Structure 1
Protein backbone atom coordinates (compact mmCIF):
# COMPACT_ATOMS: atom_id res chain seq x y z
CA UNK A 1 0.00 0.00 0.00
CA UNK A 2 2.74 2.59 0.81
CA UNK A 3 4.43 1.77 -2.51
CA UNK A 4 1.20 2.53 -4.35
CA UNK A 5 0.87 5.92 -2.63
CA UNK A 6 4.49 6.84 -3.35
CA UNK A 7 4.13 5.81 -7.00
CA UNK A 8 0.90 7.82 -7.33
CA UNK A 9 2.52 10.94 -5.89
CA UNK A 10 5.57 10.52 -8.15
CA UNK A 11 3.30 10.19 -11.17
CA UNK A 12 1.41 13.35 -10.21
CA UNK A 13 4.70 15.24 -9.89
CA UNK A 14 5.80 14.17 -13.37
CA UNK A 15 2.46 15.01 -14.97
CA UNK A 16 2.27 18.64 -13.83
CA UNK A 17 5.26 20.30 -15.46
CA UNK A 18 4.11 22.41 -18.43
CA UNK A 19 1.15 23.82 -20.35
CA UNK A 20 0.84 23.69 -24.14
CA UNK A 21 -1.11 25.61 -26.77
CA UNK A 22 -1.17 25.33 -30.55
CA UNK A 23 -0.82 28.73 -32.26
CA UNK A 24 -1.80 29.02 -35.93
CA UNK A 25 -2.11 31.97 -38.27
CA UNK A 26 -3.86 32.56 -41.56
CA UNK A 27 -1.71 32.71 -43.65
CA UNK A 28 0.82 30.47 -41.94
CA UNK A 29 4.52 31.25 -41.69
CA UNK A 30 4.25 34.12 -39.20
CA UNK A 31 6.90 34.60 -36.51
CA UNK A 32 5.46 34.08 -33.02
CA UNK A 33 6.70 35.99 -29.98
CA UNK A 34 5.40 35.37 -26.45
CA UNK A 35 6.38 38.01 -23.87
CA UNK A 36 8.79 39.41 -26.50
CA UNK A 37 10.67 36.11 -26.85
CA UNK A 38 10.74 34.29 -30.19
CA UNK A 39 8.83 31.00 -29.97
CA UNK A 40 8.76 29.76 -33.56
CA UNK A 41 6.97 30.04 -36.91
CA UNK A 42 3.27 29.21 -37.26
CA UNK A 43 1.89 26.66 -36.88
CA UNK A 44 3.75 26.17 -33.60
CA UNK A 45 3.10 24.37 -30.33
CA UNK A 46 3.96 26.75 -27.49
CA UNK A 47 4.96 25.14 -24.20
CA UNK A 48 5.20 27.18 -21.01
CA UNK A 49 6.53 26.01 -17.66
CA UNK A 50 4.32 26.38 -14.62
CA UNK A 51 6.22 29.30 -12.94
CA UNK A 52 5.93 31.42 -16.12
CA UNK A 53 2.29 30.36 -16.61
CA UNK A 54 1.11 32.36 -13.60
CA UNK A 55 1.97 35.72 -15.19
CA UNK A 56 0.37 37.31 -18.27
CA UNK A 57 1.32 35.66 -21.57
CA UNK A 58 1.19 38.27 -24.35
CA UNK A 59 1.72 37.09 -27.92
CA UNK A 60 2.65 38.91 -31.14
CA UNK A 61 2.57 37.46 -34.66
CA UNK A 62 4.55 39.10 -37.46
CA UNK A 63 4.52 38.32 -41.18
CA UNK A 64 5.92 40.44 -44.02
CA UNK A 65 3.18 42.33 -45.84
CA UNK A 66 0.71 41.87 -42.96
CA UNK A 67 -0.17 43.90 -39.89
CA UNK A 68 1.21 42.43 -36.66
CA UNK A 69 -1.41 40.72 -34.50
CA UNK A 70 -1.22 40.98 -30.73
CA UNK A 71 -3.18 39.49 -27.88
CA UNK A 72 -2.99 37.54 -24.68
CA UNK A 73 -3.08 33.78 -24.26
CA UNK A 74 -6.24 33.12 -22.27
CA UNK A 75 -6.38 30.74 -19.34
CA UNK A 76 -9.41 28.58 -18.63
CA UNK A 77 -10.54 25.96 -16.16
CA UNK A 78 -9.77 22.50 -17.52
CA UNK A 79 -12.76 20.16 -17.07
CA UNK A 80 -10.48 17.12 -17.13
CA UNK A 81 -8.50 18.58 -14.25
CA UNK A 82 -11.64 18.97 -12.17
CA UNK A 83 -12.53 15.33 -12.84
CA UNK A 84 -8.98 14.30 -11.97
CA UNK A 85 -9.19 16.27 -8.74
CA UNK A 86 -12.41 14.47 -7.83
CA UNK A 87 -10.86 11.06 -8.40
CA UNK A 88 -7.65 11.92 -6.54
CA UNK A 89 -9.53 13.57 -3.65
CA UNK A 90 -8.00 16.93 -4.56
CA UNK A 91 -4.39 15.77 -4.46
CA UNK A 92 -3.84 16.44 -8.17
CA UNK A 93 -4.59 20.14 -7.57
CA UNK A 94 -1.54 20.33 -5.32
CA UNK A 95 0.66 19.62 -8.32
CA UNK A 96 -1.29 21.03 -11.25
CA UNK A 97 -3.89 23.81 -10.78
CA UNK A 98 -7.30 23.63 -12.43
CA UNK A 99 -6.42 26.39 -14.92
CA UNK A 100 -4.82 25.69 -18.28
CA UNK A 101 -4.32 27.37 -21.65
CA UNK A 102 -6.84 27.03 -24.45
CA UNK A 103 -5.84 24.18 -26.75
CA UNK A 104 -5.65 26.23 -29.94
CA UNK A 105 -5.33 29.86 -31.00
CA UNK A 106 -6.22 30.74 -34.61
CA UNK A 107 -5.02 34.25 -35.44
CA UNK A 108 -6.02 35.87 -38.76
CA UNK A 109 -3.48 38.33 -40.16
CA UNK A 110 -4.62 41.39 -42.13
CA UNK A 111 -2.81 42.55 -45.26
CA UNK A 112 -1.11 45.93 -45.04
CA UNK A 113 -2.98 48.34 -47.28
CA UNK A 114 -0.63 50.32 -49.48
CA UNK A 115 -1.98 53.49 -51.04
CA UNK A 116 -1.58 53.16 -54.78
CA UNK A 117 -2.40 55.90 -57.18
CA UNK A 118 -3.78 55.34 -60.66
CA UNK A 119 -1.43 53.47 -62.94
CA UNK A 120 -0.09 55.42 -65.88
CA UNK A 121 -1.19 53.96 -69.21
CA UNK A 122 1.84 52.01 -70.35
CA UNK A 123 0.09 49.93 -72.95
CA UNK A 124 -3.38 49.17 -74.13
CA UNK A 125 -4.89 46.17 -72.43
CA UNK A 126 -7.52 44.14 -74.19
CA UNK A 127 -10.51 43.34 -72.02
CA UNK A 128 -11.26 39.64 -71.77
CA UNK A 129 -14.67 38.89 -70.30
CA UNK A 130 -14.68 36.22 -67.62
CA UNK A 131 -15.77 32.78 -68.61
CA UNK A 132 -19.44 32.17 -67.98
CA UNK A 133 -18.83 28.55 -67.13
CA UNK A 134 -18.20 27.93 -63.44
CA UNK A 135 -14.84 26.62 -62.38
CA UNK A 136 -14.72 22.82 -62.41
CA UNK A 137 -15.48 21.37 -58.99
CA UNK A 138 -14.11 18.21 -57.55
CA UNK A 139 -17.30 16.57 -56.27
CA UNK A 140 -15.53 13.62 -54.69
CA UNK A 141 -15.58 13.45 -50.91
CA UNK A 142 -11.82 13.86 -50.77
CA UNK A 143 -11.99 16.94 -53.01
CA UNK A 144 -14.81 18.49 -50.98
CA UNK A 145 -12.91 17.93 -47.74
CA UNK A 146 -9.73 19.36 -49.26
CA UNK A 147 -11.64 22.44 -50.45
CA UNK A 148 -13.26 22.81 -47.02
CA UNK A 149 -9.87 22.59 -45.27
CA UNK A 150 -8.46 25.19 -47.66
CA UNK A 151 -11.33 27.58 -46.88
CA UNK A 152 -10.75 27.08 -43.15
CA UNK A 153 -6.98 27.61 -43.46
CA UNK A 154 -7.53 30.87 -45.35
CA UNK A 155 -9.93 32.10 -42.66
CA UNK A 156 -12.98 32.20 -44.92
CA UNK A 157 -15.03 30.00 -42.59
CA UNK A 158 -15.01 29.61 -38.82
CA UNK A 159 -14.07 26.49 -36.93
CA UNK A 160 -17.74 25.80 -36.17
CA UNK A 161 -18.68 26.08 -39.85
CA UNK A 162 -15.75 23.84 -40.73
CA UNK A 163 -16.75 21.15 -38.23
CA UNK A 164 -20.45 21.29 -39.14
CA UNK A 165 -19.82 21.06 -42.90
CA UNK A 166 -17.20 18.34 -42.48
CA UNK A 167 -19.65 16.25 -40.47
CA UNK A 168 -22.34 16.75 -43.13
CA UNK A 169 -19.96 15.68 -45.95
CA UNK A 170 -18.88 12.58 -44.05
CA UNK A 171 -22.47 11.74 -43.10
CA UNK A 172 -23.52 11.83 -46.79
CA UNK A 173 -21.14 8.96 -47.64
Structure 2
Protein backbone atom coordinates (compact mmCIF):
# COMPACT_ATOMS: atom_id res chain seq x y z
CA UNK A 1 0.00 0.00 0.00
CA UNK A 2 1.16 3.53 -0.69
CA UNK A 3 0.32 6.64 1.26
CA UNK A 4 -0.39 9.58 -0.99
CA UNK A 5 -1.89 12.85 0.22
CA UNK A 6 -3.42 11.25 3.31
CA UNK A 7 -4.99 8.44 1.27
CA UNK A 8 -3.93 4.81 1.31
CA UNK A 9 -3.69 3.32 -2.15
CA UNK A 10 -3.34 -0.42 -2.53
CA UNK A 11 -0.90 -1.34 -5.30
CA UNK A 12 -2.60 -3.85 -7.56
CA UNK A 13 -1.35 -5.69 -10.60
CA UNK A 14 -2.85 -4.75 -13.94
CA UNK A 15 -5.59 -7.29 -14.78
CA UNK A 16 -4.50 -10.14 -17.07
CA UNK A 17 -6.90 -9.20 -19.87
CA UNK A 18 -5.32 -5.75 -20.17
CA UNK A 19 -1.74 -7.00 -19.92
CA UNK A 20 -2.37 -9.80 -22.42
CA UNK A 21 -4.07 -7.37 -24.79
CA UNK A 22 -1.10 -5.01 -24.69
CA UNK A 23 1.33 -7.88 -25.34
CA UNK A 24 -0.84 -9.24 -28.18
CA UNK A 25 -0.98 -5.83 -29.85
CA UNK A 26 2.76 -5.27 -29.46
CA UNK A 27 3.75 -8.68 -30.84
CA UNK A 28 1.71 -8.01 -33.98
CA UNK A 29 3.94 -5.04 -34.89
CA UNK A 30 6.24 -5.47 -37.92
CA UNK A 31 9.44 -5.26 -35.86
CA UNK A 32 8.41 -8.48 -34.05
CA UNK A 33 7.98 -10.50 -37.25
CA UNK A 34 11.40 -12.15 -36.97
CA UNK A 35 11.21 -12.69 -33.22
CA UNK A 36 11.01 -10.89 -29.91
CA UNK A 37 12.32 -10.93 -26.38
CA UNK A 38 9.99 -10.48 -23.42
CA UNK A 39 11.12 -9.44 -19.94
CA UNK A 40 8.69 -9.76 -17.04
CA UNK A 41 5.94 -11.43 -19.06
CA UNK A 42 4.37 -13.86 -18.53
CA UNK A 43 4.18 -13.81 -14.74
CA UNK A 44 1.40 -16.36 -14.26
CA UNK A 45 0.29 -19.64 -15.81
CA UNK A 46 -2.80 -17.97 -17.29
CA UNK A 47 -0.58 -15.37 -18.96
CA UNK A 48 1.72 -18.13 -20.26
CA UNK A 49 -1.24 -19.99 -21.74
CA UNK A 50 -2.46 -16.77 -23.34
CA UNK A 51 1.02 -16.19 -24.78
CA UNK A 52 0.92 -19.71 -26.25
CA UNK A 53 -2.41 -18.84 -27.90
CA UNK A 54 -1.06 -15.54 -29.23
CA UNK A 55 1.95 -17.35 -30.65
CA UNK A 56 -0.22 -20.02 -32.28
CA UNK A 57 -2.38 -17.34 -33.91
CA UNK A 58 0.81 -15.80 -35.35
CA UNK A 59 2.29 -19.18 -36.33
CA UNK A 60 5.08 -18.68 -33.78
CA UNK A 61 6.05 -20.43 -30.58
CA UNK A 62 8.18 -19.58 -27.57
CA UNK A 63 11.60 -21.12 -28.15
CA UNK A 64 13.42 -20.26 -24.93
CA UNK A 65 12.54 -19.14 -21.43
CA UNK A 66 15.60 -17.92 -19.55
CA UNK A 67 15.63 -17.99 -15.76
CA UNK A 68 18.45 -16.16 -14.01
CA UNK A 69 19.16 -18.11 -10.83
CA UNK A 70 20.48 -15.97 -7.98
CA UNK A 71 20.68 -16.75 -4.27
CA UNK A 72 18.03 -14.88 -2.27
CA UNK A 73 20.60 -13.24 0.03
CA UNK A 74 22.57 -11.95 -2.93
CA UNK A 75 19.37 -10.60 -4.48
CA UNK A 76 18.60 -8.81 -1.22
CA UNK A 77 22.06 -7.22 -1.24
CA UNK A 78 21.68 -6.18 -4.87
CA UNK A 79 18.18 -4.78 -4.46
CA UNK A 80 18.62 -2.97 -1.15
CA UNK A 81 21.88 -1.20 -2.03
CA UNK A 82 20.43 1.54 -4.24
CA UNK A 83 20.86 5.12 -3.08
CA UNK A 84 19.47 8.21 -4.77
CA UNK A 85 20.49 11.85 -4.52
CA UNK A 86 17.74 14.06 -3.09
CA UNK A 87 18.98 17.03 -5.14
CA UNK A 88 19.82 15.80 -8.64
CA UNK A 89 18.42 12.25 -8.70
CA UNK A 90 21.76 10.56 -9.44
CA UNK A 91 21.70 6.85 -8.60
CA UNK A 92 24.36 4.87 -6.76
CA UNK A 93 24.74 1.39 -5.29
CA UNK A 94 26.59 0.91 -2.03
CA UNK A 95 28.36 -2.23 -3.34
CA UNK A 96 28.60 -1.84 -7.12
CA UNK A 97 28.67 1.93 -7.71
CA UNK A 98 29.37 3.66 -4.39
CA UNK A 99 29.83 7.41 -4.14
CA UNK A 100 33.31 8.71 -3.32
CA UNK A 101 32.02 9.88 0.08
CA UNK A 102 29.41 7.91 1.99
CA UNK A 103 25.88 9.32 1.60
CA UNK A 104 27.11 12.27 -0.51
CA UNK A 105 26.42 12.65 -4.22
CA UNK A 106 29.54 12.87 -6.40
CA UNK A 107 27.77 15.17 -8.87
CA UNK A 108 26.16 17.84 -6.66
CA UNK A 109 27.14 16.97 -3.05
CA UNK A 110 23.48 16.36 -2.26
CA UNK A 111 22.32 13.88 0.38
CA UNK A 112 21.83 10.26 -0.71
CA UNK A 113 18.84 8.32 0.58
CA UNK A 114 17.33 4.84 0.33
CA UNK A 115 13.83 4.64 -1.14
CA UNK A 116 11.23 3.31 1.29
CA UNK A 117 10.50 0.37 -1.02
CA UNK A 118 14.19 -0.61 -1.13
CA UNK A 119 14.38 -1.68 2.51
CA UNK A 120 15.28 -5.27 3.33
CA UNK A 121 11.79 -5.96 4.72
CA UNK A 122 9.94 -4.67 1.66
CA UNK A 123 12.34 -6.19 -0.85
CA UNK A 124 12.13 -9.50 1.03
CA UNK A 125 8.35 -9.45 0.81
CA UNK A 126 8.48 -8.71 -2.94
CA UNK A 127 11.03 -11.48 -3.48
CA UNK A 128 8.94 -14.02 -1.57
CA UNK A 129 5.87 -13.10 -3.60
CA UNK A 130 7.81 -13.28 -6.86
CA UNK A 131 9.33 -16.66 -6.00
CA UNK A 132 5.96 -18.12 -4.96
CA UNK A 133 4.25 -16.91 -8.13
CA UNK A 134 7.13 -17.80 -10.44
CA UNK A 135 7.73 -21.38 -9.27
CA UNK A 136 4.67 -22.79 -11.10
CA UNK A 137 5.61 -20.84 -14.22
CA UNK A 138 9.13 -22.29 -14.20
CA UNK A 139 7.66 -25.78 -13.91
CA UNK A 140 5.25 -25.00 -16.78
CA UNK A 141 8.15 -24.11 -19.09
CA UNK A 142 10.38 -26.89 -17.73
CA UNK A 143 7.66 -29.40 -18.70
CA UNK A 144 7.59 -27.89 -22.21
CA UNK A 145 11.36 -28.41 -22.44
CA UNK A 146 12.18 -24.75 -23.14
CA UNK A 147 13.36 -23.51 -19.73
CA UNK A 148 17.01 -22.46 -19.77
CA UNK A 149 18.73 -21.82 -16.44
CA UNK A 150 21.57 -19.29 -16.25
CA UNK A 151 23.60 -18.62 -13.12
CA UNK A 152 22.91 -14.94 -12.51
CA UNK A 153 25.60 -14.74 -9.82
CA UNK A 154 28.38 -14.62 -12.42
CA UNK A 155 29.98 -11.49 -13.87
CA UNK A 156 27.54 -9.54 -16.02
CA UNK A 157 29.57 -10.14 -19.20
CA UNK A 158 29.51 -13.90 -18.59
CA UNK A 159 25.76 -13.91 -17.98
CA UNK A 160 25.21 -11.82 -21.11
CA UNK A 161 27.38 -14.16 -23.21
CA UNK A 162 25.54 -17.24 -21.92
CA UNK A 163 22.13 -15.75 -22.66
CA UNK A 164 23.28 -14.68 -26.14
CA UNK A 165 24.55 -18.20 -26.80
CA UNK A 166 21.27 -19.72 -25.67
CA UNK A 167 19.23 -17.42 -27.89
CA UNK A 168 21.45 -18.19 -30.90
CA UNK A 169 21.01 -21.91 -30.21
CA UNK A 170 24.69 -22.45 -29.47
CA UNK A 171 24.39 -23.68 -25.89
Category of TM-score, reference length = shorter chain: under 0.3
Task: Say which structure is richer in strand.
Answer: 1
Larger Rg: 1
TM-score normalised by L of structure 1: 0.23
